[in-house]
Amino acid sequence: MGASNDILTIGVIEERYGRYDAAHGTPDPMVRRVLTFRAGDAEARFEQTDYGHPGRFNAWEPRGIDARLQPRTEELRDLCARISALTA
């Protein structure tokens, strides 16, 4: 069997913050999700929160995309939405 290499890795992190946490300062708890794609040595990171309306998430926003992946930003954003539907 030949050697294998990762072609695409995906990481999802979900963080929960309590009321009046320093990360957001509002009276409601907040959830923050970070989704990271790695393709070879290029990386794209997106973030989503329910800031401002608990339980209803805002759109995925880019938080750092390697230049080589920037032409694929909208495809990656769509993939974020599909992945978050799987984790709901």
pLDDT, tens digit, for every residue of 25-74?
888 899 999 999 999 899 999 999 998 888 899 999 999 999 999 999 99
Q: How far is 49 from 16, CA to CA, in rounded Å?
A: 10
Residue 88: pLDDT above 80?
no
Amino acid making up residue 14 = E
Classify residue 83 as exposed, middle or buried by CB count within 10 Å of its CB (0-12, 13-18, 19+): middle
Cβ contact 49:57 at 8 Å: yes
**pLDDT for residue 77:** 96
The answer for residues whose C-beta is within 8 angstroms of residue 21's C-beta and 6 or more apart is 29, 30
What pLDDT band is residue 2 in, cutting at 50, 70 and 90? low
